[in-house]
Protein backbone atom coordinates (compact mmCIF):
# COMPACT_ATOMS: atom_id res chain seq x y z
CA UNK A 1 0.00 0.00 0.00
CA UNK A 2 1.49 3.35 -1.03
CA UNK A 3 1.76 6.07 1.57
CA UNK A 4 -0.04 9.30 0.80
CA UNK A 5 1.97 12.47 1.02
CA UNK A 6 0.94 15.17 3.44
CA UNK A 7 0.00 18.39 1.66
CA UNK A 8 2.85 20.86 1.48
CA UNK A 9 2.04 23.99 3.44
CA UNK A 10 3.92 27.09 2.47
CA UNK A 11 4.27 29.98 4.87
CA UNK A 12 1.95 32.90 4.30
CA UNK A 13 2.40 36.44 5.50
CA UNK A 14 -0.27 37.66 7.93
CA UNK A 15 -3.16 39.68 6.57
CA UNK A 16 -2.54 43.40 6.99
CA UNK A 17 -5.22 45.79 8.24
CA UNK A 18 -5.33 48.98 10.26
CA UNK A 19 -6.90 49.82 13.58
CA UNK A 20 -7.96 53.12 15.09
CA UNK A 21 -7.45 53.28 18.85
CA UNK A 22 -7.30 55.80 21.70
CA UNK A 23 -4.16 56.15 23.81
CA UNK A 24 -4.14 56.80 27.58
CA UNK A 25 -4.45 60.56 26.97
CA UNK A 26 -7.55 60.06 24.78
CA UNK A 27 -5.80 60.88 21.48
CA UNK A 28 -6.77 58.56 18.63
CA UNK A 29 -4.18 57.03 16.31
CA UNK A 30 -3.97 54.57 13.44
CA UNK A 31 -1.75 51.52 13.88
CA UNK A 32 -1.00 48.48 11.72
CA UNK A 33 -2.78 45.25 12.62
CA UNK A 34 -1.55 41.82 11.49
CA UNK A 35 -3.89 38.84 11.46
CA UNK A 36 -2.17 35.44 11.32
CA UNK A 37 -3.55 32.83 8.94
CA UNK A 38 -2.93 29.11 8.70
CA UNK A 39 -3.82 26.63 6.00
CA UNK A 40 -6.50 24.21 7.13
CA UNK A 41 -9.59 22.30 6.13
CA UNK A 42 -12.32 24.81 6.87
CA UNK A 43 -15.23 23.42 4.84
CA UNK A 44 -14.54 19.74 4.12
CA UNK A 45 -14.60 18.10 1.68
CA UNK A 46 -13.43 21.29 -0.05
CA UNK A 47 -9.66 21.73 -0.31
CA UNK A 48 -7.77 23.51 2.46
CA UNK A 49 -7.27 27.25 2.35
CA UNK A 50 -5.96 30.03 4.61
CA UNK A 51 -8.00 30.85 7.72
CA UNK A 52 -7.48 33.27 10.61
CA UNK A 53 -8.54 32.51 14.16
CA UNK A 54 -12.27 33.09 14.56
CA UNK A 55 -12.89 35.71 17.24
CA UNK A 56 -16.08 36.30 19.20
CA UNK A 57 -18.58 38.72 17.68
CA UNK A 58 -21.58 40.22 19.47
CA UNK A 59 -23.78 41.54 16.64
CA UNK A 60 -23.61 42.43 12.98
CA UNK A 61 -25.42 44.82 10.68
CA UNK A 62 -25.16 47.27 7.82
CA UNK A 63 -24.87 51.04 7.51
CA UNK A 64 -25.90 53.17 4.54
CA UNK A 65 -24.16 56.54 4.88
CA UNK A 66 -25.39 59.13 2.34
CA UNK A 67 -23.10 60.93 -0.09
CA UNK A 68 -21.91 64.21 1.41
CA UNK A 69 -22.27 63.01 5.03
CA UNK A 70 -19.58 64.19 7.45
CA UNK A 71 -19.56 63.38 11.16
CA UNK A 72 -18.38 65.56 14.02
CA UNK A 73 -15.45 64.39 16.16
CA UNK A 74 -16.73 61.32 18.05
CA UNK A 75 -15.48 58.11 19.65
CA UNK A 76 -16.62 54.89 18.04
CA UNK A 77 -19.97 53.86 19.57
CA UNK A 78 -18.84 50.22 19.54
CA UNK A 79 -15.64 48.21 19.29
CA UNK A 80 -16.19 47.00 15.74
CA UNK A 81 -14.87 46.01 12.38
CA UNK A 82 -16.21 48.01 9.47
CA UNK A 83 -16.06 46.65 5.94
CA UNK A 84 -16.71 49.02 3.04
CA UNK A 85 -18.96 47.25 0.55
CA UNK A 86 -19.63 50.19 -1.81
CA UNK A 87 -18.67 53.84 -2.00
CA UNK A 88 -15.77 55.38 -0.10
CA UNK A 89 -15.10 56.98 3.27
CA UNK A 90 -12.28 58.79 4.99
CA UNK A 91 -11.39 58.49 8.68
CA UNK A 92 -9.24 61.04 10.52
CA UNK A 93 -7.69 60.26 13.91
CA UNK A 94 -7.64 63.05 16.47
CA UNK A 95 -3.86 63.28 15.90
CA UNK A 96 -4.64 64.46 12.33
CA UNK A 97 -3.66 61.29 10.44
CA UNK A 98 -6.17 60.26 7.74
CA UNK A 99 -7.04 56.98 6.04
CA UNK A 100 -9.18 56.62 2.92
CA UNK A 101 -11.31 53.47 2.72
CA UNK A 102 -12.77 52.25 -0.55
CA UNK A 103 -14.87 49.21 -1.41
CA UNK A 104 -13.08 46.09 -0.21
CA UNK A 105 -11.35 47.89 2.71
CA UNK A 106 -11.68 47.08 6.39
CA UNK A 107 -10.85 49.02 9.56
CA UNK A 108 -10.96 47.93 13.21
CA UNK A 109 -12.46 50.76 15.28
CA UNK A 110 -11.35 50.59 18.91
CA UNK A 111 -11.35 54.28 19.87
CA UNK A 112 -14.44 53.91 22.08
CA UNK A 113 -13.04 56.42 24.61
CA UNK A 114 -11.18 59.69 24.30
CA UNK A 115 -11.50 62.34 21.61
CA UNK A 116 -12.50 59.93 18.87
CA UNK A 117 -12.21 60.51 15.15
CA UNK A 118 -13.78 62.29 12.19
CA UNK A 119 -15.38 60.30 9.40
CA UNK A 120 -16.97 61.32 6.14
CA UNK A 121 -18.24 59.91 2.87
CA UNK A 122 -15.99 60.89 -0.03
CA UNK A 123 -16.99 60.88 -3.66
CA UNK A 124 -20.43 61.10 -5.26
CA UNK A 125 -21.90 57.80 -4.01
CA UNK A 126 -23.45 56.65 -0.75
CA UNK A 127 -21.21 54.40 1.36
CA UNK A 128 -22.50 50.94 2.27
CA UNK A 129 -20.74 49.34 5.25
CA UNK A 130 -20.98 45.99 6.97
CA UNK A 131 -20.39 46.24 10.73
CA UNK A 132 -19.36 43.46 13.11
CA UNK A 133 -19.51 44.41 16.80
CA UNK A 134 -16.79 42.87 18.95
CA UNK A 135 -16.94 42.36 22.71
CA UNK A 136 -15.52 45.27 24.71
CA UNK A 137 -11.95 44.78 25.86
CA UNK A 138 -11.56 44.20 29.58
CA UNK A 139 -9.40 46.41 31.78
Instruction: Residue 78: give its domain's CATH number.
Output: 2.60.120.10
Return the pLDDT at 1: 44
Tens of pLDDT, residue by residue over 107-127, are 999 999 999 999 999 999 999
Per-residue pLDDT, averaged over 14-29, amounts to: 97
Query: How many C-beta atoms lie closer than 10 Å to residue 52's C-beta?
Result: 11
Provide the pLDDT confidence category of residue 9 given band limits of 50, 70 and 90.
low
Q: Is residue 99 part of a domain?
A: yes
Q: Is residue 4 part of a domain?
A: no
Return the pLDDT at 23: 97
Q: Is residue 48 part of a domain?
A: yes
pLDDT surpasses 80 at 135: yes
83: which residues sit within 8 A by CB, 6+ positions away?
Answer: 105, 106, 129, 130, 131, 132
94 dihedral zone (left: phi>0; alpha: psi -120 to 50; beta): alpha
Domain residue limits at 60 = 15-133
CA-CA distance, 136 to 112, in Å (whole number)? 9
pLDDT surpasses 90 at 67: yes
pLDDT surpasses 90 at 89: yes
Q: What is the pTM of this model?
A: 0.87
Q: Which residue has the higher pLDDT, 137 or 128?
A: 128
CA-CA distance, 21 to 69, in Å (whole number)? 22
Q: Is residue 8 part of a domain?
A: no
Number of domains in the chain: 1
Q: Is residue 43 part of a domain?
A: yes
Amino acid sequence: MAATAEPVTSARAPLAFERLYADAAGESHFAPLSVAITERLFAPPARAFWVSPLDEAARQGFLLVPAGWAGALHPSPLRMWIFVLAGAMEFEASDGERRPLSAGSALLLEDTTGKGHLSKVVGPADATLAVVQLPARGG
